[in-house]
Structure 1
């Protein structure tokens, strides 16, 4: 069975939007057979495994077929958590996967205690096992602003500084010694197309006595124990982000009721789904959207009779986690002092050294590009919504009966008008009670899109669409009730370009540069370029250059080399 067949099987299994099927032994057996084919596993590469508070943990996640080690073609969403030694979550991240990989970062606050932590990675599919099947690696954190917790132990070990080679792929570093703020250029060369087309992360970071232990490398061995169970089955996210919930009512029917989920903002999204016999509903968000302004509402007459509840993410069983003792080598005290000074200087200049967020491509709205679009600044501005609709929007009109507003769209056939309501949207929020919107200042509107004719979306039919977009993407509603909720749902991590200074001009010359992480490229594409250029910082010492990932055929790759940065001799 290929990916399409697996998805078809699972789609049919979930088509009733009920999970009771998984309680049947034969269904569970079938899912375990599917699991043998999917074979998902997670591996996470990090920029280091030991940190001071005030530093940043950077990581890249690989979702792989645990038998072939090739990129998994199934789950589109993965999760990363940092767990403390009390088995409490420090952070939880959701990642939209691109070619089975995703990356993120976490600034380590001074609220954390000195100790060992676990970095965990998994997909929803992996949570359905009797034995925890998540990825786990040790992370060590020192908080120099707090005393070590009572009972903790500090011991010493040595750190390997040997070069790691691979006969198929290697570094080509022109020089091994540089002065502070020199331009550094390195190449990655390979004698095999298989390795050139791999998926890798490139890191350059200072080595010092605070390196706790050698970095754990992917071994190819993963947990293959455990089976799919019938207890709290979690839907696999094969097409995108899944959000589930249910409606309830003391006196109204809960079957086949319409529920809308809106991501409100400039990059808005809207989904309309239908409940099953138990009032449950499933929303699938195929497009990556980190916006946290989410509103879920019932789209029914008598909506006040309904209560909406959004399901929480399934808790992960961390009972099997064990936490090693924090270990440092004998020079750790001076190195911690040096790194603390560097961290404080870097954080003091945060505003001029911020990473930049990569703005996601603005996706077409669900109604596509066939709408009539009105950029309101191209027209005379009117003082209210009534005149704006009447004077600017062709084929659109409003009514006011018994002090209740409504908006309507003429059909493509001028001699026909459907009795269906028009879908009215503002910044992705579907609106049924328009009185509040008609009090809105139209000067804050940017554009309006109009779609004519009968339109079927999700499980509901409309006579046309009128979609308003505000200038700031910040429309809000005062509508309240148990039929409309603003759930706190974990959002996907935003993509970033990580800061790197440029000393070709005088722009950054007077700004101190105390970086210990000179380069972090979580998605280096060797098929396009094997050349990386970056600048040394003001911190002298030995730096580790490492490349980690998987070849095109799934072979694990880890190579490392070293460069030296020296203080430039004064005249």
Structure 2
């Protein structure tokens, strides 16, 4: 209810005042990482906190972005996250292709960048590749200019290897968005600041030209006409997902040819496509680009030199990561992939499994003999499907929405190209059907057995899409049954990485086979916007 009220006020201001007070609707991002120094083969983990001006969870953006760049500004990866109450957590496996050097992790929303390309938060990392052949890099890391890190000068509690730990010192009644990290204290010290990056002050240097992604990701674009007499308004545009052939969204263009889709749920394919629903071929389509942060605003880090005694530490971590990765199938994280849901409610469809009607040899025979409500006509070599939906007067569109394996069929003649023995099922709905803001006389949907049908439409545009990073539950061993994992080595240095909305429970985890000093840390924000930072240390011997 609170979010709906905020969005209503936001839209009201746009419609009636035509200006936006950025101070009322600004948002920022905070960023937390699990380590400042990473070896190739290790995994970077991070958490995002999308905040409004009082540091409470922002209710404006549902989608946030994370970009990693090297010291030259070259893009290493871009991740997209659907936020859950203003927060998300992600990960990136450090590949051996990356060179030793400094890297920046940036996070932002499209709403932040619409006000200024400088509205992003960054965290600087050092990635070390011990396998690279560049000898100059190896020599550079033998120069003594950065002191080694030291353990806290207090007596720490000792634990054994593979011991269960239940830590209760941080229990409070605080609720909000927090991330708990238990990790071996980094022996390689770099002057890159904290694991937690606070939001940069938000600025507003640009006129606001787009809405926040409050309901989901915004995909927008524009069609162009090749014939000046063609209309730009009310042209249907379909968005289809190759990873979910039961997904379709349809929208219409405005009087400038502009259109947009709002994805309440992410797509499943990195190569979705858009299709112009028009019998006229004289249209082209172009998608709007995503706003990008101004990379030049990042201060370049000075060259980092490391002590000679770091060589042994780097070697130990490289070997440990190799061993852990060798047991990937046993130790892989659990990924929660959202279920691919159909856009059209299956309860609205009457489905005919074609295998029950194998005595027919063509689609025409099937339509003639099986569904009483469907018939076809052929006139001037034009095949057309009709529904017997008597009593319904349709003036907007007399054709049904026809789909084959997720593709919109503009020319019904394409249906005759399908080999009947490859049709798996035919589903129909003879009642008028709204999809998006388009009205159809009904639905006629075909699924083939191999899902490989390709019609001859030239009005289809493939586009690149960043599939959002799915939530992961990092691997945690269970040593209650010690014999079960007795022969499996445990070289974890990250013992726990966990997001939580409450601090009223103890922190539980198992130690690994790696000796050393470990840090238990909690970062985050309470529901009231108060920043929380807690840490404690222990030893494994």
The TM-score, its normalising length taken from structure 1, stands at 0.82
Distance in 1 (CA, whole Å) between partners of 2:426 and 2:149 is: 62
Tell me how far 1:516 sits from its aligned partner.
1.8
- 2:70 paired residue number: 84
User: Which secondary structure does the structure 1 equivalent of 2:315 belong to?
Assistant: helix
Q: Distance between the aligned counterparts of 1:510 and 1:446, measured in 2?
A: 49
**In structure 2, C-alpha distance between the alignment counterparts of 1:133 and 1:90, rounded to whole Å:** 20
1:135-190 CA-to-partner distances (Å, cap 9, x unmatched) read 011111111112366696763134364499xxxxxxxxxx9433333333334643
Q: 2:524 aligns with which of 546, 549, 555?
A: 549
SS at match of 1:216: coil
For residue 183 of structure 1, what is the aligned residue in structure 2?
164
Structure-2 change in CA distance of 1:227 and 1:493 (3 Å): same
Is 2:335 aligned against 1:357? yes
Q: Aligned pair in 2 of structure 1 residues 416, 38: CA closer, same or farther (>3 Å)?
A: closer
Q: Distance in 2 between matches of 1:542 and 1:423?
A: 64
Q: Greater shift after overlay, 183-192 or 554-563? A: 183-192
2:108 aligned with 1:122, yes or no?
Answer: yes
Q: Separation in 2 of the partners of 1:38 and 1:398?
A: 55
Deviation at 1:258, TM superposition (A): 1.4
Is residue 487 from structure 1 mapped to residue 463 from structure 2 by the alignment?
yes
Residue aligned with 1:199, SS: strand
1:222 pairs, out of 200, 204, 213, with: 200
Whether 1:250 aligns to 2:231 is no
2: CA distance, partners of 1:148 / 1:10:
57
* Worse-superposed segment, 335-344 or 264-273: 264-273
TM-score (norm. length: structure 2): 0.86
Q: Determine the structure 2 residue equivalent to 1:282.
A: 260
For structure 2, list consecutive stretches of 5 or more residues without a partner in the other structure: none
- CA 1:545–1:405 in structure 2 vs 1: closer, same or farther (change >3 Å)? farther
CA distance in 1, matches of 2:387, 2:153: 70
Structure 1 counterpart SS, 2:492: coil
2:288 corresponds in structure 1 to: 311
Among residues 494, 500, 508, which one is paired with 1:524 in the alignment?
500
Correspondence list, 1:237-276, <5 A = 237-251=213-227, 252-266=230-244, 268-276=246-254
RMSD between aligned alpha carbons?
3.5
- Superposed displacement of residue 75, structure 1: 0.7
Query: Would you say 1:42 and 2:29 are equivalent positions?
Result: yes
| Count of equivalent residues | 530
1:3-22 mapped onto 2 (5 Å cutoff): 3-4=3-4, 7-8=7-8, 11=11
Q: 1:235 to 1:334 in 2, by over 3 A?
A: same
Query: Does the alignment pair 1:512 with 2:498?
Result: no
**Mapped contact 2:232–2:253 kept (Cα < 8 A):** yes
Q: Which consecutive unaligned segments of at least 5 residues does structure 1 have?
A: 16-20, 165-174, 567-571
Deviation digits for residues 477-536 of structure 1, max 9, x if unmatched? 25353x211101222212222222334455543333222222221x22437x72454333
User: Taking structure 1 as reference, are residues 312 and 442 closer, same or farther at Cα in structure 2, changes over 3 Å only?
Assistant: farther
Cα distance between partner residues in 2 of 1:384 and 1:137: 64
1:128 aligned counterpart, secondary structure: helix
Residues in 2 aligned to 1:451 and 1:108: alpha-carbon distance in whole angstroms: 50
- Alpha carbons of 1:434 and 1:227: their partners in 2 closer, same or farther (altered >3 Å)? same
For 2:185 and 2:73, how far apart are their aligned partners in 1? Answer: 29
Partner of 2:39: 52
Match of 1:104 among 90, 99, 103: 90
Deviations 1:363-400 (A, max 9, x none): 4x444364135383995667767266666656344555
The answer on 1:156 being equivalent to 2:146 is yes
Change (3 A) 1:475 1:535: farther
**For 2:266 and 2:516, how far apart are their aligned partners in 1?**
41
